[in-house]
Amino acid sequence: MKKIRILSKAAIFVLFISSIFFTFSSVEAVRFPGRLSNGIGNYGRNTQYYYVTPSANSMKGQINSRMSAWTNSNGTGAYTPISFRETGTQSASVVDFHKGSWWSASQGIAGYAEHYIGGSLVSTNQNWYWGIVKLNTPTFDRLTEFNKHGTIAHEIGHIFGLAHPTGHPYPYSVMLQIGQGRKTNGPQSIDFSDINQKYK
């Protein structure tokens, strides 16, 4: 489905469950009810694409690295259907990366994900066709390099349909928030397992 670029005040409705905070937050499930409608690549048979907007160009290396970490699960003992490549054609992408100032540093939001059907922002209770990852400069730029990588990987996970684990005993899930004690900056076997349960 071709994207219609309409960003309205509905974006203010940004799902806080898709945001990174430096406080604890409670999420009921590891996976959102919805998912990317056209899947996440089907083992390379239906490769999907992501686009780094000019606003996020300074982070392109980190974005490519974190998308590669999701695509290549080598060493984790998991094999997933994820197949993504960067594209220079924004209309062809299903994940767009932006960087800018949407929230003040005092709000502690380093990044968040939005889910769309056409130009309409939708709830994660339904499937979506594409999404936006927003890296919020006032907070994101204060992170360590390790946590910048982790934030990008975390928000990609939200676009794929993963949520924040609640009461998770395993700190090596990239879907944990920083305030929950996340100790990884890339997806781990438990994250890939959640992907497989969602898309296989």
Question: What token pair was written down for 17?
Answer: 């469950």
| 122-153 confidence digits (pLDDT tens) | 999 999 999 999 999 999 999 999 999 999 99
Mean pLDDT of 177-186: 93
**pTM recorded for the entire structure:** 0.86
| 42-55 confidence digits (pLDDT tens) | 999 999 999 999 99
Question: What token pair was written down for 151?
Answer: 């934030």
From residue 184, give the alpha-carbon distance in Å to each of 6, 136, 146, 177, 190.
34, 20, 8, 10, 12
What percent helix, strand, coil does the chain show, rounded to 5? 35, 20, 50
Q: Which residue has the tokens 């349960």?
A: 197
What residues contact 106, with CB distance under 8 A and at least 6 apart? Answer: none
Q: Which residue has the tokens 């924040």?
A: 164
| 88-127 confidence digits (pLDDT tens) | 999 999 999 999 999 999 999 999 999 999 999 999 999 9
